[in-house]
Amino acid sequence: MERQADADHGALTERFSLGGSGLTVAVKDCIDIAGHVTACGSAALRGRAPAARNADVVDSLLAAGCRIIGKAAMHELAFGMTGVNAAFGTPVNPRWPDRIPGGSSSGSAVAVAAGLCDFAVGTDTGGSVRQPAACCGLWGIKPSFGRISRRGATPAESSLDCIGAFARDGGMLVRAMEAMDPGFAPATPGAAPVLLQLDAGLPGIATAELPGLDAAFAAGMTLIAIETEAAFGHLLDAGAAIGPDIAARLAAAREIPAGKIAAAERIRAAFTAEVDALLERCDAIVTPALAGIPPTLAGARDPQSVLGLTRYQRPFNLSGHPAIVLPRPGPGGLPAGLQIIGRKGDDARLCAIAIRLAESLQTQTETA
C-alpha cells in the first residue's frame, strides 16, 4: 500500500491492485474492501479496524473480472459537495485545477478524469456522483434507489443514498453498470424517445414543469442531515477529529424539529408522484446538471455556499428515480452538463437515451 503521488492528482488515498485483468476501477473510501480501512475521508475513522469482508458491489466488480486500483478520496463523511478535505488532501480537478472537483465522490471523479482508471465507483446521497461528474467533465450515474446493493457501504442505513459510477463516455458507463449490477442488461432507447426539458435550453424539446422541485431540494437537505447525524453523531459526542464544517452540520442536524422531518416525508411522497406522472408523458426528463458554474477553490471556502449547485440533482435522491449526468461545455468552456432522469427501474434504457441525446447534441455542434 502506498500514498498517491501528486502526479495522480490526489485522487487515491490508497493504491493497490486487486482482482483480474479487466476494466480498472477506483472505489470510494466509504465502500468496504476486505483488509483495508474504510476511513470515509475522516481522520476520526482512519484508525478503525480494516473491513472484514467486501461490500457487495466490490464482490460484483471482482466477479466481473475488474481490477481495483485503490481507494478514492472523498469529502469527509460524504457530507459535503466541494471535495475539499484537510485530513486526506483535496483531489485536483484535472481540467479545471483552480475549481472544486465536487463532492462528495471527489477522488472517484478525479481518478476517471485523470485517466487513472476506466471507471470509478462513488455514492450519491444528494448529487455526490452527479455533481463531481459535472465539475470534472464526466458522465455519472445515480441508479434507481435500491438497484445496487449498499451492503458494505457507509452509512449502513440511508433512504437517499445510491452506489453509482463515473466514466469518460456513455459506453463505459454502461459497462460500469454491468460490472456493478449482475442483473443489468444494456438496452436500446427505442425509436425517437420522447423527452421533456426543465430549464435545459435545448432546441426542439418541449418544456415541462416540476412545481415541487425546490421543496424536494429542501426536504432532501433535511433528511440527509438527519440520517448523517444518526450515522456519525457519536463522533461529535466523543470529540473525535472531524472537520469544523462537518461538526457544525452534525450539530445543526440535532436541532431539526420532528415536524420538519415529517413534512419532508410528505414532500417526498408528493414529489415522487409528481415525477412519476410527468414520466407517464415522456421517456425521460432533461435538466441542467448544475444550477451554476462550479466555484473556484478559493471561492468555496464556505462549504454551504456550494450546496445550491445540486438544485436539479438532490430532488431525485428524494424520489429515487435514476439520473445520469453527461458533460456539455458551459459559458467560457467552464464545466456544465445535462442531467437525464428516467423511470424507476428503467436504468438501462435511460443509459441508452442519454447516449443518443449526447450523439444528437454532438451532431448539432458539428453541423452548426
Condensed to tens digits (0 to 9), the pLDDT of residues 270-300 reads 999 999 999 999 999 999 999 999 999 999 9
Alpha helices (H) along the chain: 56-63, 106-113, 130-136, 170-180, 213-237, 244-253, 258-279, 315-319, 347-367
pTM of the model: 0.96
Catalytic residue among 28, 71, 142, 344: 28
The question of whether 144 is a catalytic residue gets the answer no
pLDDT of residue 364: 81
pLDDT at position 115 over 50:
yes
Taking the C-alpha atoms of residue 270 and residue 305, their distance in angstroms, rounded to an integer, is: 27
Span 5-10, average pLDDT: 75
Taking the C-alpha atoms of residue 297 and residue 13, their distance in angstroms, rounded to an integer, is: 20
Cβ count within 10 A of residue 49: 7
Residues 6+ apart with CB under 8 A from 234: none
Contact 73, 93 (CB under 8 A): no
Catalytic residue among 60, 104, 108, 158: 104
347-357 in b/e form (b: 16+ CB < 10 A) is bbbbbbbbbbb
Condensed to tens digits (0 to 9), the pLDDT of residues 57-91 reads 999 999 999 999 999 999 999 999 999 999 999 99
**Helix (H) or strand (E) segment spanning residue 14:** strand 12-19
Span 306-310, average pLDDT: 92
* 368: confidence class by pLDDT, cuts 50, 70, 90: low
Q: Tell me, rounded to whole angstroms, the distance of Cα 41 from its chain centroid.
A: 15
3-state secondary structure of 57: helix
pLDDT of residue 302: 78
* Grid-cell match 442531515, residue found: 225
Cβ count within 10 A of residue 175: 21
Longest dimension (CA), the chain: 61
* CA distances to 78, 161, 194, 297, 343 from 104, in Å: 5, 12, 32, 15, 25
214-225 in b/e form (b: 16+ CB < 10 A) is ebbbbbbbbbbb
Grid cell of 208 as nine digits: 415541462
Query: Within 13 A of 340's CA, how many CA atoms are on the CB side?
Result: 30
- Domain 1-368 fold is Amidase signature (AS) enzymes (3.90.1300)
Taking the C-alpha atoms of residue 192 and residue 329, their distance in angstroms, rounded to an integer, is: 25
The question of whether 28 is a catalytic residue gets the answer yes
Contact 344, 160 (CB under 8 A): no
Query: Within 13 A of 315's CA, how many CA atoms are on the CB side?
Result: 26
Condensed to tens digits (0 to 9), the pLDDT of residues 125-134 reads 999 999 999 9
Cα angle value 117/345/320 (rounded, 5°): 85
Catalytic residue among 128, 144, 158, 319: 128
pLDDT at position 5 over 90:
no
